[in-house]
Amino acid sequence: MGLWLETAAKRTFDVVFSLTVLVFIFPVLVLIATLIKLDSEGPVLYVSERIGLNGKRFRFLKFRTMVQDADAMRGALLHLNERRGNLFKISNDPRVTRLGKILRRYSLDELPQFFCVLNGQMSVVGPRPCLPSEYARYTKEQRRRVEAVPGITGLWQVEARENPCVDAYFALDTFYVQNWNLLLDARILMKTISVVFAGTGQ
């Protein structure tokens, strides 16, 4: 199958799969939204600017799992960062709400991103979209990861989710960009299912 046909097939799958998922989980989306409003003050969705294909910015959606002023608190928590290099992650992040911990554990906070897939800003599988501030610090080689449409799940998420090393993060995403095909997407998607049910999200 030629690259153009594979790309078209990937987009077709993204649309059909996302529509199917959203139809079946609509009651779950309503329930989560209601619980978020009951659990803490603030909007149901967390909307932020992220970097998409070829460096283009887009509005990224997640269910809100942190307190309202979480972004403003980030600077004061940099000393707790457990990742190396150009990544930020805290296992017991004090900004995460009670409900947020559950949503993150089973990746339920990511569900609104299927709307981003429908409008073509994201794919079901691909490198995770980064923040503009992170992208600004990327080296030329690291920017290879934005040569693919960002995804809800990706190779790094299923192979090295707990690895704190930034080199592994970029190496896996670069491998995906250079070796992408529909079979690789299928393998990543199948592994994602087991990762989600294992509840290893943070």
Which pLDDT tens digit goes with each residue over 31-66?
999 999 999 999 999 999 999 999 999 999 999 999
Domain count within the chain: 1
In a domain, residue 121? The reply is: yes
Distances in whole angstroms, Cα of residue 169 to Cα of each of 1, 25, 148: 29, 30, 15
3-state SS of 74-141 is HHHHHHHCCCCCCCCCCCCCCCECHHHHHHHHCCHHHCCHHHHHHCCCCEEECCCCCCHHHHCCCCCC
Rg (the chain; Cα; Å) = 17
Which pLDDT tens digit goes with each residue over 172-187?
999 999 999 999 999 9
- pLDDT, position 76: 72
- pLDDT, position 42: 92
In a domain, residue 113? The reply is: yes
In a domain, residue 47? The reply is: yes
What phi and psi values does residue 183 have, to the nearest 5 degrees?
A: -65, -40
- pLDDT, position 167: 81
Judging by beta carbons within 10 Å of its beta carbon (0-12, 13-18, 19+), is residue 143 exposed, middle or buried?
middle
In a domain, residue 202? The reply is: no
- pLDDT, position 199: 60
Q: Which residues of the chain have pLDDT under 70?
A: 1, 75, 78-89, 161-164, 199-202
Residue range(s) defining the domain that contains residue 65: 3-197
- pLDDT, position 77: 77
